[in-house]
Each structure stands twice: as C-alpha cells, then as structure tokens.
Amino acid sequence: MLSTMQDVPLLISRILAHGSSIHGTSLVTTWTGEGEPARRSYAEIGARSAQLAHALREDLGVEGDDRVATLMWNNAEHVEAYFAIPSMGAVLHTLNLRLPAEQLIWIANHAADRVVIVNGSLLPLLAPLLPHLTSVEHVVVSGPGDRSLLGGASARVHEYEELLAGKPTAYEWPELDERSAAAMCYTSGTTGDPKGVVYSHRSIYLHSMQVNLTQSMGLTDQDTSLVVVPQFHVNAWGLPHATFMTGVSMLMPDRFLQPVPLAQMIEQERPTHAAAVPTIWQGLLAELGAHSRDVSSLGQVTIGGAACPPSLMEAFDKLGMRVCHAWGMTETSPLGTVARPPAHAVGTEEEFTYRTTQGRFPAGVEARLTGPGGERLPWDGESAGELEVRGPWIAGAYYGGEGAEVLRPADKFSEDGWLKTGDVGTISADGYLTLTDRAKDVIKSGGEWISSVELENALMAHPDVSEAAVVAVPDDRWGERPLATVVLKEGSTADFTALRSFLAEEGGIAKWQLPERWTVIESVPKTSVGKFDKKVLRRQYAEGELDITRL
Ligand code: ADP
C-alpha cells in the first residue's frame, strides 16, 4: 500500500524561505574588527540570496550543476552563498582557505569550479593560485581588499555588491530532486589525500533537523550562536542551515579568530552558544586567564572535530560555559554523536564521565564496531574496534571527478555500504561512543594498543602543560612506543620525570603505557582546521628534528 502523504522534496530553498519569512527578524552579525559589527536580518539575507542567484545565472551564466566555490571567512555574504547556490540548483563548493596552495589547486580543479566568490581579504591567497585554476571563469570579490592583485587574471573579475545591485529580491527557486547535489566539501586530509563529499538537499535538510533537536544543540530563536567553526569545515557543522530552520541568530567572526577578538565578541554581542574545535577554546581559555572578560552569556559550547580534553571541559564548566562534546566527520555531515548525559546520570558523579565520551548516536545514525578480523564486536564498553556508521546524512561514496564514477575505496566503505570511519573505540550498552584513537594514530606496542588520546588528555590535566600530543614512534623491541611532545606553560618548572609520575598517579595510566621518549615543543603543529597534526610530529621525529629525552 502506498502512503497517502504529500511528497514535498526536502530542499535548501525551503529552509531559506522559512528562515527569511517566519524568522525574518533574526540576525547574522558579522564582526568587522573595528566599529560596529555589520548586522543583516534573515529577511535581508533571503532577498540578497535571490539577487545573488539572479546575478550568477544572468550575468555569469551559471547553469545546471555548475560548481560555485567560496573562498571566504564566516560572514553574512558567505551565508548568502550557502543558500543562493544550492537553491538555484548549482553546487556550493566551500574551499578551505588554510590548505596548502597545491591542495587548493588540486581540489578546485577536481571539482571543476566555474566561479569563485572570494573575500577581498583573501585575494593575496587566491591571486597566485588563479592561473592554475583551469575551470574558473569568474571571480566575484566581496568586502575590502586589494583588487589590483587580480590584474592580469584571465578569469573575469566582478564586484559582489555591484552584481547584486538592482536585481530582483525574489527568485523562482526550481523544484529540484531532493537527492541532487547541493554542496561539496573535501576532507581536510589530516591522514591522507583530500576526498570530495557531496551533500544532497535531502541530507542537509535532515541533518539540520537533527542539529536542532534538544538532544543535539537544542537552540531556539532566543539564542545567538557564535559560529567559530569555519563555513569551509563541514558546512560549519550544519549551523547556518539549522539556524535558518529555527531562527537562531548567528554571530560570525569573519577573519577575527584570535583569542582576543573572540573574547571581545563574546563580551559585546553576548552569544548564548558557540561551536569550534578544542584548540580554539584552549586559546580562549588562556586569554580569559590573563584578562578577565564577561563571558556569562555563553551557556553552551559545542566542542568537536577532535577529542575535547576533560581538563578543558572542567575549566569551561567553572566559567559557566557548559561544554557539549560531539563527534563527526566531513563524511557524516558532520553530526555523528552528541554527549548529552542520560537522565539517570544527571546530578550524579557519572554525569561528567558521560559528558567526556564522544556521545550517543541520534536516530538516523546507525553504528557498529568491527574488530581487526572483520568480526562484529559487542556494545559492552570494553571491546574496541573500528566504528562504522550509516544513515541518510552519511556519505556512501566520494566524488570521482568530472565525468567519472563515484569512488568507493574498500578502506572507507564496507561491502554492504557502511562508512568505515577510521576511528577506533568502544560503545557502551546504552549507546555511548568512546573513541580511543584514530586507527592511524593508535600506538601498537608489543601487540597491545595504547591510546594516544588518553595519554594526551592525562598530560593536559597537569597544571603546567598547556598542550600535549602523543605519537607512535618505531621501537626495536615493541614495534611502536609513545613519544610525548609537550608544550609547557610560561614559567613552568615541571620536568619529564614529574610528568611521567603524574600520568601514572593522577592520570591512571598503566605502567607499560607510560612514554619513555619525551620532548618539549613550542606549540603542537595544527592542520588546516586546527587539529593536532601528528603527521608533522612523526616526520620531525623521523628526521631527527626533535630533541628527545629518554627516561
Ligand atoms: P580530517 O579527517 O581531515 O581531520 P574531518 O573534519 O572530517 O577531517 O575529521 C573527522 C575526524 O575527526 C574523525 O574521524 C575523528 O577522528 C576526529 N574527531 C572529530 N570529532 C571528534 C571527537 N569529538 N573526539 C575525537 N575525535 C574526533
């Protein structure tokens, strides 16, 4: 029997229409560094998205599933691009502005981007790449910046505001197939080459609803979200789409991502929610320690993208900013798990432990653990294996390139179509995921696994340690052993012996897991999205660039 329900495609244009009418007075506020921030209502964003779509179609000839790339910070214009491009049927491709030049060129050519919308402040980055971007015909520049850098470019250069001026403020958005491509994002390549993930209208729509659930971020139109996570990092974790569904206002930091302006923004604009990777919050914490600021508005902070050290969570809790830990990947849109404690644990000692896990799977994400021999492992909180997931907002393949089939590499997708996450961990009987490592970062010592993340968390709980990264290094006897690289706080007197004892006594680390190789570094190298870049540390060790002490 067929259902009797209407079949209305789940389209981004519907999210836009809803946000810009029902929540027309909600705001996107963009930080400008000096003077008043720029404020634009959702109604204005709706009108300007229509104008942008007209410009792309009528002036630039964007048609069908042409790729329109953005090389932009988080700001109102980037939100307009987020809605205009997919709603008209084209494909939004967010370029990660922190990637090395060769990777950016490779990615833009692989996606066959026809247009790049760029912030003026990023022209020094784009200009030298442009001659190598073989498919780009148009560059649209938004905001202040030196246009003369584009002199000699073969692509046509346009001004964002000039293109929009005078265009109609409504657009007849096409009734697309909800399964068609809406946006694409390449993985940031922390552990390998970038791979293109293509989100559909449907996957983004369903993911946005999930982000909005109380069990996830649970925000309402009374909230303002400080969206620090870049719009080029997995669609800013789905926030721009989710906020347009619920009318949550957005505070966008543009290029002002350093701890001082972030602290100023929070004090002045009083957001109630914020989202970013742990390294951003470590920086803010240090700033708040040095200069007191009123951050009391910030009730909830979503931390994900890398394991949130419990010490960071505790420090934030003390400042009244409650951390909610979440796990995800480019391939999972990204929301995969959220660490909201179960009802029975609230108010008990267990609550914090639950909050430090990666969290529970929402309806819509199915999970299983696979052991080294391909066997299914039980959800007992002890059996560790590779996490595999499936669901309507989980990738089932990678983009193969113009005219090519999609790619389903066997190390990323199981034969029955599940995504192999490359993350290793356990799942408790009540469905909480605890990641112990990335498969590629696990330290395999004498046939046993040591979790680099567990060692890092224990080290970062030491009052003298500001950051710590642990990587596997080759060892004649054990195969691999952990190398601890630590960043000490200014004026710290801790020595390695003391840190090692701390790990054993306070951190509860088993004796055989304690690192014997130690080094102090100035800062942990970071990837393009602010995660610890362990590839660099392993290389530095291999090339003898680190000054190692053996205990
Ligand atoms: P990249 O793979 O280049 O880092 P992604 O942003 O897609 O780009 O990263 C996804 C990976 O980040 C996950 O597979 C996982 O290893 C890690 N990750 C994300 N969130 C968490 C978290 N809360 N705890 C631990 N690891 C996390």
Q: What is the pLDDT of residues 276-325, one digit of tens each?
A: 999 999 999 999 999 999 999 999 999 999 999 999 999 999 999 999 99
> Ligand 1 center to residue 258 CA distance, Å?
22
Indicate whether 205 pLDDT > 80: yes
CB 517 within 8 A of CB 481: yes
Q: For residue 334, is the peptide bond before it cis, meaning its omega torsion is within 30 degrees of 0?
A: yes
> Ligand 1 center to residue 302 CA distance, Å?
14
Catalytically annotated residue among 161, 353, 449, 489: 449
> Ligand 1 center to residue 324 CA distance, Å?
16
Catalytically annotated residue among 29, 187, 279, 434: 187
* Type of residue numbered 328: G
Distance from chain centroid for Cα 529 = 7
| Burial annotation 149-183 (CB, 10 A radius, 16+ → b, else e) | bbeeeebeebebeebbeebeeebebeebebebbbb
Examine residue 68 and state whether it is found in any structural domain, yes or no. Answer: no
Q: Is 173 considered catalytic here?
A: no
Q: What is the pLDDT of residue 96?
A: 95
Examine residue 199 and state whether it is found in any structural domain, yes or no. Answer: no
Q: What is the pLDDT of residue 182?
A: 98
Q: Is 386 considered catalytic here?
A: no
Kindly report, residue by residue over 54-73, the tens digit of the pLDDT: 999 999 999 999 999 999 99
CA 212, CA 263: separation in Å to the nearest integer?
26
Examine residue 27 and state whether it is found in any structural domain, yes or no. Answer: no
CB 222 within 8 A of CB 412: no
Q: Which residues pair with 252 in a beta bridge?
A: 30
Examine residue 26 and state whether it is found in any structural domain, yes or no. Answer: no
Coil, helix or strand at residue 317: helix
Indicate whether 374 pLDDT > 90: no
Q: Which two tokens stand for residue 295?
A: 């951050």
Examine residue 518 and state whether it is found in any structural domain, yes or no. Answer: yes
The protein residue with its alpha carbon nearest to ligand 1, atom 4, reads 190
**Residues contacting 482, CB < 8 A, separation 6+:** 443, 445, 450, 452, 455, 470, 471, 472, 473, 513, 515, 517
Look at the chain and report how many structural domains it folds into.
1
Helix, strand, coil share of the chain (percent; to 5): 30, 25, 45
Catalytically annotated residue among 102, 402, 444, 512: 444
> Ligand 1 center to residue 334 CA distance, Å?
9
Q: What is the pLDDT of residue 491?
A: 87
Q: What is the pTM of this model?
A: 0.92
Q: What is the pLDDT of residue 192?
A: 64
Average pLDDT over residues 379-387: 95
Q: Which two tokens stand for residue 471?
A: 């990587």
Kindly report, residue by residue over 478-523, the tens digit of the pLDDT: 999 999 999 999 888 889 999 999 999 999 999 999 999 999 999 9
Report the nearest atom of ligand 1 relative to the CA of 307.
24
Catalytically annotated residue among 77, 178, 331, 467: 331
Q: What is the pLDDT of residue 16?
A: 98
The protein residue with its alpha carbon nearest to ligand 1, atom 19, reads 305
Query: Among 434, 220, 403, 419, which residue's Cα sits nearest to residue 333?
Result: 419
Q: What is the pLDDT of residue 269?
A: 98
By residue count, the chain amounts to: 551
Examine residue 528 and state whether it is found in any structural domain, yes or no. Answer: yes
Domain ranges, residue 459: 441-550
Coil, helix or strand at residue 539: helix
Residues with CB under 6 A from ligand 1: 187-190, 234, 304-307, 325-330, 358, 421-423, 435, 438, 529, 531
Examine residue 488 and state whether it is found in any structural domain, yes or no. Answer: yes
Examine residue 150 and state whether it is found in any structural domain, yes or no. Answer: no
Q: Residue 495 sits in a domain of what CATH number?
A: 3.30.300.30
> Ligand 1 center to residue 547 CA distance, Å?
29
Q: Is 349 considered catalytic here?
A: no
The protein residue with its alpha carbon nearest to ligand 1, atom 5, reads 329
The protein residue with its alpha carbon nearest to ligand 1, atom 2, reads 190
> Ligand 1 center to residue 327 CA distance, Å?
7
Q: Is 31 considered catalytic here?
A: no
DSSP sequence for 38-102: EEEEHHHHHHHHHHHHHIIIIIT---TT-EEEEE--BSHHHHHHHHHHHHTT-EEEE--TTS-HH
Q: What is the pLDDT of residue 42?
A: 98
Q: What is the pLDDT of residue 214?
A: 93
CA angle 8, 11, 15 (to 5 degrees): 110
